[in-house]
Structure 1
């Protein structure tokens, strides 16, 4: 009987809008948007989180008609999409760095199927992305997301999200830093590979019988792999720093 008393129009609309907010989060946020997580699992997780967060919903009069409810639901999905862009940009910096390293190493052809995105990606980029996600989860990245959602419920009432100028400017600004930060992460390895190419070019000039494909190419790959092993702690540390900064940006914007 207590459950039946909760089935009012006000509570039903609030629960459905909260479900759409979680649906937008699990559809677009890093890790949760991975193809490795079945859609059914994400849907069940969104429903379960609604049950957990529903008791802390602030009092809000909800009496939408069908048209306004559809608009409110669309805004909730838009909320998840726009807020996820800032975090996706941070993860994309690693992908760009990994692709740049793979290109410099000559491993662009050595691509493998990425089940997370459903496309072919260079191996180095896949390794960096998967390691970044594991480190993010180890540092309670998912807890920060749920904390952000709890904060957003009090700051942005359900169905009343409106993209402001500060949010759009922050997305554009962070997107403009994607390539520069990604290049900075990959620069030590790219510089070492460039130096090895210069040395191999000098050797070929002095010793024309030097077979670059048979000797130089494997040596360059070996040098790059050793450099990646040495540099990867610094790359991951920078990634976690930028990830933390992105959550601070989200807290300021909302």
Structure 2
């Protein structure tokens, strides 16, 4: 398989076949929002990749290149990595939409300075971003979307077996279209709350012009925070429905990448 012979014959060939299959799975898990988090140890991702690779090897007739260290073998591995990263990255785009919405809402409420360390990405995100991220994660796992995504990952070996050219301009255009849809979804999520915050800020400005003796900062910031909290509570059912649709869209976008 790699010009090295340890004397195990067919068992050794199956081992390198499983290692080759793990490349696409490991790349997808690395780019996925939940499984690729900094809080998930690399050993866990390797074990999950190996477990899924065993199932793929048993369910499909995947054939690894005869020599993984040759130019053909390296190109096959690169193609597997790109396909896996694309499947995980599309899922990452869907999870980024609530965080962008939280940035818009937090800026309107005056809570943009209230940031916390996001355990998923390792970066600093607004406090509202943690709320939306937790709700999105609970809905994603509760609806079983992670199982559908793993099913698509296994099905990708039947649709695009190793050696099939997946990297094309059409698929890259699909990823770009998914990114634009992410920004549109973020605006839809943040629109009801930001509209109410805009009305509150306009009213605050009118009051400050009518009574210049009032302190604009002492009046506007509490009013914005209070109005934002009321708007978040009132729009919670709508946000939940939108995030539920977003979880289905995330899996649908991953499935669209597997179409020829």
TM-score (norm 2): 0.88
Name structure 2 gaps, 5 residues minimum: 1-7
The aligned residue for residue 147 of structure 1 is: 151
The aligned residue for residue 13 of structure 1 is: 16
The aligned residue for residue 52 of structure 1 is: 55
On the 8 A contact 2:20/2:64 being kept in 1, the answer is no
In structure 2, do the counterparts of structure 1 residues 6 and 217 end up closer, same or farther at CA, with 3 Å as the change threshold?
A: same
In structure 2, do the counterparts of structure 1 residues 70 and 247 end up closer, same or farther at CA, with 3 Å as the change threshold?
A: same
> What secondary structure sits across from 1:7 in the alignment?
helix
Q: CA deviation at 1:187?
A: 0.8
Is it true that 1:201 corresponds to 2:209 in the alignment? Answer: no
> What secondary structure sits across from 1:64 in the alignment?
coil
**CA offset digits 1:85-106 (Å, max 9, x no partner):** 3222211111111111111111
Q: CA deviation at 1:125?
A: 1.4
**CA offset digits 1:185-209 (Å, max 9, x no partner):** 1011111001000111111122222
In structure 2, do the counterparts of structure 1 residues 161 and 133 end up closer, same or farther at CA, with 3 Å as the change threshold?
A: farther
On the 8 A contact 2:79/2:167 being kept in 1, the answer is no
The aligned residue for residue 125 of structure 1 is: 129
On the 8 A contact 1:90/1:178 being kept in 2, the answer is yes
**CA offset digits 1:55-105 (Å, max 9, x no partner):** 112253742351222222222111111122322221111111111111111
In structure 2, do the counterparts of structure 1 residues 30 and 15 end up closer, same or farther at CA, with 3 Å as the change threshold?
A: same
**CA offset digits 1:91-150 (Å, max 9, x no partner):** 111111111111111111111111211111111112111210111011112101111012
| RMSD, aligned α-carbons | 1.9
The aligned residue for residue 5 of structure 2 is: none
The aligned residue for residue 182 of structure 1 is: 186
Which of 37, 40, 47 pairs up with 2:40? 37
The aligned residue for residue 247 of structure 1 is: 251
In structure 2, do the counterparts of structure 1 residues 131 and 65 end up closer, same or farther at CA, with 3 Å as the change threshold?
A: closer
Q: Distance in 1 between matches of 2:192 and 2:85?
A: 34
Q: Distance in 2 between matches of 1:153 and 1:39?
A: 24
Is it true that 1:69 corresponds to 2:69 in the alignment? Answer: no
> What secondary structure sits across from 2:173 in the alignment?
helix
Q: CA deviation at 1:8?
A: 4.2
On the 8 A contact 2:115/2:125 being kept in 1, the answer is yes
> What secondary structure sits across from 1:177 in the alignment?
helix
Q: Distance in 1 between matches of 2:17 and 2:68?
A: 13
Q: Distance in 1 between matches of 2:206 and 2:185?
A: 32
The aligned residue for residue 135 of structure 1 is: 139
Moved more, 101-110 or 47-56: 47-56
